[in-house]
Amino acid sequence: MSQQYRSRPLGSDVALSEAYDTALLDLDGVVYAGGHAIVHAVESLGSAREGGMHLAYVTNNALRTPDAVAEHLTELGVPAEATDVITSAQAVARLMADQLPSGARVLVVGGEGLRVALRERGLVPVESADDDPVAVVQGFGGPDLPWGRFAEAAYAISRGAVWFASNTDLTIPGARGIAPGNGAAVEVVRIATGAEPQVAGKPLPPMHRETVLRTGAKRPLVVGDRLDTDIEGAFNGGVDSLLVLTGVTDAAQLIAAEPRYRPTYVDRDLRGLLTGQPEVPEDGDGFRCGGWTAGVRGEVLVLDGEGDAIDGLRALCAAAWTHAGEGACGLDARKAVARLDL
């Protein structure tokens, strides 16, 4: 769909785990939140794996190493090896290695995941602007990252160091709610320096390149909870996507999405991998899915019928996206969304 806007979620006659060879799964908000598995994630991924689908875990969170992520997944009941995990730290390290000489010093503002990834690419992590770094790399460092790290980054960048960022997600979901992500920290340094970083993570091409190189996927399905990273990354890579509603995206945001943020499929959680997806055909002046029909009256989205709420959301997406065309939908969807228990 890279050249045409999507006007409705697509259907699939077979389970998505059969239609695609590899699931490229986001982690935070999809598989786990705040260190705990999201409901239905463990059993759904187990069934998909047993059915022959390759599972790869693709995360913009650069804090932990692939080994640590794989160990955590295994503890949660999702068996994984380090080679199954692709991080934005790996993507940004490759991006940097393509531009910097081997052995170059890099000031790290972030966690161990960045340091390990840099060493794998022959770069040398340092801790201070006074260590003469030729570059700065910034990634999510967790809630305890000292404020002074941002100052070190600003000093080095002001002295001419090239600035890189693993990703620019403004938020990150956790057990207690939505917290500031690496993008918020990047903004601190941007304000202090006036500089612009080179960014590697989703939705940008370096992350897609890293994922394809490491997984060898031929027919991948991106699975995520964020429109502006997971779904846009799939759009930029020209591959299909499944949005699950277990993370940061809510129904209203999905309905209003402009083309680059519209997923191929929509489902409540990872159980969507194990089923087919219903068609959303036109029905008179509106669109039908399951027991629901959605349409536009004046400047308002309307929803009639009853049944599975996720079918109602699919019908609303079709009505809204068709009405919006190549733009974002500005119709009033509050009453329609309120009818859905999502």
From 28, 84, 240, 311, active-site residue: 28
296-325 b/e with 16+ CB inside 10 Å = b? Answer: beeeebbbeeeebbbbbbbbbbbbbbbbbe
- Name which of 201, 216, 160 is nearest 60 in CA terms: 201
Distance CA 64, CA 70 (A): 10
The rounded distance, in Å, linking the Cα atoms of 179 and 184 is 10
Contact 24, 282 (CB under 8 A): no
**For residues 147 and 124, what is the distance between their CA atoms, to the nearest angstrom?**
22
Q: Does the annotation count 28 as an active-site position?
A: yes
What residue type is assigned to position 225 of the chain? D
236 Cβ partners below 8 Å, 6+ apart?
Answer: 203, 204, 205, 208, 260
Omega into 281 within 30° of 0, i.e. cis? no
Q: List all residues 6 or more positions away from 282 whose beta carbon is below 8 Å from its beta carbon.
A: 288
**Candidate list 26, 169, 225, 230, residue with the active-site label:** 26
Catalytic residues: 26, 28
